[in-house]
Amino acid sequence: MNMKKYRLLSLFFGVSLLLLSGCTSKENPFPDHEGGKIYLGLKHMNIRCSGCHGDLGGGGMSGPSLVKAVKKLKPEEFVATVISGRGDMPSFNKKLQEEEIIQIVEWLKMLPED
């Protein structure tokens, strides 16, 4: 396994442990901290995106890598794509608010590109 995969696995397990420590409450464990956006981004990513784009947004069976997309697109372009849909991807206009999409962008920016 190469170093990038080790770093990605370490990041995944670290975030998982952090999230598991807050499993006793449904509230955001970081409400007044910048990390709150990242936590919420991961949460929205897992609920809305991971089915097509993979658990960590690196690409799935039917969706491309969001980690690469977030590095190529401006945040407003990414938001517009999610809201409007593109190609086989449906619109998430009624499923995600713009603020929630920005939180997903913040989560994806943390992840290393393969």
50-100, pLDDT tens digit by residue?
Answer: 999 998 889 998 999 999 999 999 999 999 999 999 999 999 999 999 999
What distances in angstroms separate CA 8 from CA 33, 113, 114, one per listed residue?
23, 9, 9
- What stretch of H or E contains 92? none
> Considering the domain boundaries, does residue 23 fall inside one?
no
> Considering the domain boundaries, does residue 24 fall inside one?
no
Choose between 99 and 114: higher pLDDT.
99
Structural domain range at position 82: 35-114
Instruction: Give the count of domains, the chain.
Output: 1
> Considering the domain boundaries, does residue 26 fall inside one?
no
- With a cut of 60, say whether residue 21 has pLDDT above it: no
- With a cut of 70, say whether residue 9 has pLDDT above it: no
CB 86 within 8 A of CB 64: no
> Considering the domain boundaries, does residue 14 fall inside one?
no
pTM value is 0.69
Choose among 3, 4, 19, 18: nearest CA to 111: 4
Which CATH number do you get for residue 112?
A: 1.10.760.10
